[in-house]
Structure 1
Amino acid sequence: MMVLYHLHNPTAPAFVTTCNVCSHDIETGQGWRCEICPDFDVCNGCYQKGAVNHPHKLTNHPSVADRDAQNKEARQMRVQQLRKMLDLLVHASTCRSGSCQYPNCRKVKGLFRHGMQCKTRASGGCALCKKMWYMLQLHARACRDSGCSVPRCRDLKEHLRRLQQQSDSRRRAAVNEMMRQRAAEVATT
């Protein structure tokens, strides 16, 4: 029965934490934990009363909602950073200025130069080439401009299109095979 409960309530804690001072159960997000001792937890009530006699620093347990909010903020920050990076990539591919004021434009131009001259390449383990290819592939997935000036954008879009076609044809073939097998099973019964 407990398995069913936890399947239907995935955010409910699987283990109940008890206060080391008063031995009451501590609800999620309502207690304090020692950063050093693995099993030292105190409820909010005991912490606020000052009934805690512990030598180490205690930190507040974040609630599930707090953790979700932090994860959402972190995800939004990553999306913003990716957008800035892709904007920088587009800018650097068209920029001809030697003293460009755009932040990190020279670094991306340096990555382009490195990619043209590198003998190791991404397949050989070059970290700079891998970084450049990652940026180019991200751009190609999001780009809708048929006349895009970003290096290798058209090639990568064509490659992604071919991969998608192969995936679609394999999926269609699998569905057709499944339907053929079902029809054969029905015909034999």
Structure 2
Amino acid sequence: MMVLYHLHNPTAPAFVTTCNVCHLDIETGQGWRCEVCPDYDVCNSCYQKDGGIDHPHKLTNHPSMAERDAQNKEARQLRVLQLRKMLDLLVHASQCRSAHCQYPNCRKVKGLFRHGIQCKTRASGGCVLCKKMWYLLQLHARACKESECHVPRCRDLKEHLRRLQQQSDSRRRAAVMEMMRQSCRGCC
């Protein structure tokens, strides 16, 4: 019966945590947990009474599943926003001809381009700056829809991605055809 309950209520806690001070059940997201001791939990009311003084280690607030999901969603949205800004900067820097550009970090990206041209180690040799540059260029190429893009290596990378997609499609088609051949042999 409990299995059915948890299948229909996936966010409900599977285990109830008990306060080590008052021994009452702690509602999800309403407790404090020791970072060192396993299974040492304190409810909010006991924590507010003594502030965790009776325990030698630091106690941290134990957020609910919904709070954690919200934090993860915010972090993901922030990362997407940062990547968009970085890709916009990449496009700007590839077209900018000003030596004293006011666009934030334009000179840094131009320096990254210059480094990529002059570097002897390269990304395959383990150069961190080259790896960053190639990562940005590949992200841009995947999202770019312009046929006459001015970002360095964009057309080459798009062509490479197109070939990889064709190879993947060919392998998938061949696998499907092979499965169909094998299933036809079994029915004859």
Q: Which residue of 1 aligns with 2:81?
A: 80
Deviation of 1:7 after TM superposition, in Å, equals 6.0
**Partners of 2:5 and 2:134 in 1: how far apart?**
46
Q: Which residue of 2 aligns with 1:175?
A: 176
**1:30 and 2:30 correspond:** yes
Q: Which residue of 2 aligns with 1:128?
A: 129
Q: Which residue of 1 aligns with 2:96?
A: 95
Segments of 4+ in structure 1 off by > 6 A?
1-5
Secondary structure of 2:78's aligned partner? helix
**Partners of 2:135 and 2:51 in 1: how far apart?**
54
Deviation of 1:52 after TM superposition, in Å, equals 6.0
Deviations along 1:10-39, one digit per CA (max 9) or x if unpaired, are 544444321011212222212122344443
Q: Which residue of 1 aligns with 2:148?
A: 147
The unaligned stretches of length 5 or more in structure 2 are none
Cα RMSD over matched residues?
2.2
Pick closer, same or farther for the CA change 1:7–1:121 going to 2, 3 Å.
farther
Q: Which residue of 2 aligns with 1:156?
A: 157
Give 2:46's aligned amino acid.
C
5-14 vs 123-132, greater mean Cα deviation: 5-14
With structure 2 as the length reference, what TM-score do the two structures score?
Answer: 0.89
| Equivalences, count | 187
Secondary structure of 1:32's aligned partner? strand
Q: Which residue of 1 aligns with 2:65?
A: 64
Secondary structure of 1:39's aligned partner? coil
Say whether the 8 Å CA contact 1:115–1:129 is kept in structure 2: yes
Say whether the 8 Å CA contact 2:52–2:59 is kept in structure 1: no
**Partners of 1:78 and 1:175 in 2: how far apart?**
38
Identity %: 83
Secondary structure of 2:42's aligned partner? strand
105-114 vs 16-25, greater mean Cα deviation: 16-25
Deviations along 1:50-90, one digit per CA (max 9) or x if unpaired, are 59652454332101110000000000000000000000000
**Partners of 2:5 and 2:128 in 1: how far apart?**
47
The unaligned stretches of length 5 or more in structure 1 are none
**Partners of 1:39 and 1:130 in 2: how far apart?**
43
